[in-house]
């Protein structure tokens, strides 16, 4: 019986030593917060005296915000309102994708604001290269539009998180599924 216990202890410690820890690097937008920011922007638009009697209008379809205004000047003001509300709701400015200004109905202009989701393949490869160049003892791989980072040590993962946070990236990142 004692011999069996020793074998189990060796097996258990070998199993624990080979266990990898991991986390995912993602770039996602919380659309519940976008909806809240949109509602606040819409409320401000209705209460602003300088927008009364104008064609200024906001729409949100669940994935992007559409802005319509009489002219480019009012469109700039609308853009500022929407932007300030998004920032207050912790939506990163790097995730905003302003589309081209187009003519709207009548003499108005319109513009859409889309939200970037996921990490593009070429940017993910560049991030992996930066992590490898840093010499961190981790393995990073692309999984769809996110990165999986794994290591034998939680300390190496913590160092990687701190390193990635210190980088000036073109996209916002978040760290999820830490195991």
- The residues spanned by each domain of the chain are 19-28+119-176, 31-115
pLDDT tens sequence across 88-112:
999 999 999 999 999 877 878 999 9
Q: What is the assigned CATH class of domain 19-28+119-176?
A: alpha beta
Q: Is the pLDDT higher at 113 or at 20?
A: 113
pLDDT tens sequence across 22-66:
889 899 999 999 999 999 999 999 999 988 888 899 999 989 999
State residue 19's pLDDT score.
63
Note whether 19-28+119-176 and 31-115 share their fold. yes
CA distance 161 to 102: 41
- Averaged pLDDT for residues 140-146: 89
User: Domain 31-115 carries which CATH code?
Assistant: 3.30.70.990
Tokens of 128: 């992996």
b/e 110-137 (16+ beta carbons within 10 angstroms → b): bbbbebbeebeeeebeebbeebeeeebe
**In which element (H, E) is residue 142 found?**
strand 139-143
State residue 136's pLDDT score.
84
CA distance 24 to 58: 35
């Amino acid at each position: 019986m004692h011999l069996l216990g020793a074998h189990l202890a060796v097996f258990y410690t070998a199993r624990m030593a080979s266990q990898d820890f991991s986390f995912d690097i993602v770039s996602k937008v919380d659309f519940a917060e976008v909806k809240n920011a949109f509602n606040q922007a819409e409320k401000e638009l209705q209460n602003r005296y300088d927008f009364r009697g104008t064609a200024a209008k906001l729409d949100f379809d669940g994935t992007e915000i559409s802005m319509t205004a009489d002219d480019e000047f009012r469109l700039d003001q609308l853009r500022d309102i929407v932007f300030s509300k998004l920032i207050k709701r912790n939506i990163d400015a790097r995730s905003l994708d302003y589309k081209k200004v187009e003519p709207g109905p009548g003499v108005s202009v319109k513009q859409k604001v889309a939200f970037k989701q996921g990490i593009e393949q070429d940017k993910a490869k560049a991030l992996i290269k930066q992590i490898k160049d840093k010499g961190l003892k981790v393995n990073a791989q692309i999984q769809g539009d996110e990165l999986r980072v794994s290591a034998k040590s939680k300390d190496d993962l913590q160092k990687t998180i701190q390193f990635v946070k210190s980088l000036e990236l073109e996209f916002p990142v978040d760290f999820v599924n830490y195991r």
